[in-house]
Amino acid sequence: MNMILAADRNWGIGNKGQLLCHLSGDLKYFKQTTLGHTVIMGRATLESLPGKRGLPGRRNIVLTTRRDFTADRVDTVCHNLDELRAAAKDDPDAFVIGGADVYAQLLPWCDTVYITKIDAEFPADRRFRNLDMDPAFQITRQSGEMEENGIRYRFVKYERKKD
């Protein structure tokens, strides 16, 4: 299983239910990387998407404790991690796309994390674990630096170290 996210210098990933900033290069990278795969998200992440609907061209799984939850373009709703494990087992390249609580719950299951590292600081009330300080992960690939709207960023791939 994989994760994909954008984080600022302080590993902030969101503020008040929104992304920290909108970078078209990051959104294109996200689409290119996840298209054709399963995406796993929490209910609040789904509700932050345009139209509060699942992403087209992907199998959408939502993890929520709300038993009565339904939404457009959502293929599967899971209410616990056992249900999620069963629902996602057919796509080993599934991507966890947020939010912070879902990232924290599923990081132990993930071997690869794709991060758009934003070289800026933003107000953030949601953070991701600092993988640079995590001995279980290492950087295996990174792009050159890009700039958009005065904001520098790069794409970094972290992989879990093999024993």
**Cβ count within 10 A of residue 60:** 22
- Give the pLDDT means over successive 10-residue stretches in the chain (163 positions): 98 95 97 97 94 95 93 92 94 96 97 98 98 98 97 98 86
pLDDT of residue 137: 98
* Domains (range + CATH), the chain: 2-160 (3.40.430.10)
pTM (2 d.p.): 0.94
- Report the residue count for the chain: 163
